Amino acid sequence: MKRISFRAGLVLGMSMALLPAVGVGVSAPAAFAQSAPSSAVIAPVQTLYKALDQIVQSHGSFAERSQIVAAAVDQSYNLEAVLKASIGLRYNGLSADEKQKLLAAFKDYTVARYVSNFKPGADVKFTILPDVTDSPVGGNKLVVTNLGASDGSTPTELSYVMSNAGGSWKIVDVLLSDARISQAAAQRSDFSSTLTSGGVSGLISVLERKAQTYAKD
What's the pLDDT at 84? 96
At a CB cut-off of 8 Å and minimum separation 6, what does 34 contact? Answer: 42, 130, 132
pLDDT 10s digits, 185-200 = 999 988 998 999 999 9
Phi-psi map region of 199: left, alpha, beta (phi>0 left; psi -120 to 50 alpha): left
What CATH number has the domain spanning 4-216?
3.10.450.710
What helix, strand, coil percent values describe the chain, rounded to 5? Answer: 50, 20, 30
Percent of the chain scored above 90 by pLDDT?
A: 58
pLDDT 10s digits, 92-107 = 999 999 999 999 999 9
| 7 φ, ψ (degrees, to nearest 5) | -85, 100
| 4 φ, ψ (degrees, to nearest 5) | -120, 115
Q: Whole-number mean pLDDT of the chain?
A: 82
Contact 13, 77 (CB under 8 A): yes
HEC string for 174-211: EEECCCCEEHHHHHHHHHHHHHHHHHHHHHHHHHHHHH
- pLDDT of 109 > 50? The answer is yes
- Please give the full DSSP string across 86-101, using - where no structure is assigned: HHGGGGGGS-HHHHHH
- pLDDT of 133 > 60? The answer is yes
- pLDDT of 15 > 70? The answer is no
Beta strands 125-128; 4-7: pairing state? antiparallel
Tell me what the mean pLDDT of segment 65-85 comes to: 97
